[in-house]
Structure 1
Amino acid sequence: MMIPEDLYQAATKMLTRAYVPYSHFPVGAALLTKTGEIYTGCNIENAAYGSTNCAERTAIFTAVAAGQRQFKALLITGKTTEVIVPCGACRQVISEFCADEMPVYLTNQTGKIKQTTVGQLLPGAFTAEDLTHE
């Protein structure tokens, strides 16, 4: 399976920028906008673990803060044995900002790749429509 090489390289670069003094588990993410821009993120840990932010959310929040709202693909990578997968909180944030059919590439640094979609990552996601009431 072919992955977007530019996304893979951008996410891989973020592994060196991850701040992971506690887990020693770096994660990199690269988010492609529909206009072709790439926003990257790495995980940033904190001694108060609940204050930690994952790579996927860092990339999405950076893009949103820059005014981006339309995304084309997300790639996540790590130094794992198998492909890396996003946590539940990241899956919820991804579903907030990305279309169900948008491709998500789950990779590692040894060449393993799994392509999925936002909808497959979080079926039945809690969305804005769930906030409607009478």
Structure 2
Amino acid sequence: MDPIDDAALMRQAEAARERAHAPYSRFRVGAALLAEGGVVIPGCNVENASYGATICAERTAVVAAVAAGHRRFTAIAIAGPAGIALGPCGMCRQVLSEFSPDGSLRVLTRDAAGAPHATTIGQLLPAAFTAADLDTATPD
């Protein structure tokens, strides 16, 4: 069991949200990714004038975690602006599922009233495209 509870993980996501670079939309999002062993890796959205180059908070956290040598995660908390129910976008769902092939990664958010909500990446992205879908035995 990881030594951090859901509320503490959400507080870390909220702290990461304050570091977001969102000068265009002003829509700040933070994430806190819990790696096995209790290590928390923060992430925040980083916008770019070339909007397609923007990276979401969830993917920022995953990239930072992988760069630091982590590959196994148990939960991610995502914090957006108050009063808005927020979940990971499709691209973030796909990236998160890469590191949770069984779909068990817990995804923690808040609803529009601020109440905590927990689900799994498997529930958010059923029938995900995974490494098992690739035919790696046959060369091009």
Spell out, residue by residue over 1:78-133, the C-alpha distance to the aligned partner (whole angstroms, 9 max, x if none).
11423211111000000001240221111269632211101011111111111116
The yes-or-no answer on 1:81 pairing with 2:83 is yes
Cα RMSD for the two superposed structures = 1.7
Aligned identity (percent) is: 49
Paired residues, number: 132
The yes-or-no answer on 1:47 pairing with 2:29 is no
Paired residue for 1:122? 125
Distance in 1 (alpha carbons) for counterparts of 2:80 and 2:36: 24
TM-score (norm 2): 0.87
In structure 2, the gaps of 5 or more residues are none
Paired residue for 2:134? 131
Match of 1:92 among 78, 89, 94: 94
Distance in 2 (alpha carbons) for counterparts of 1:26 and 1:37: 23
Distance in 2 (alpha carbons) for counterparts of 1:106 and 1:121: 12
Q: Secondary structure at the match of 2:76?
A: strand
The yes-or-no answer on 1:27 pairing with 2:29 is yes
Paired residue for 1:15? 17
Please tell me whether Structure 1 or Structure 2 has the larger radius of gyration of its CA atoms. 2
TM-score (norm 1): 0.91
In structure 1, the gaps of 5 or more residues are none
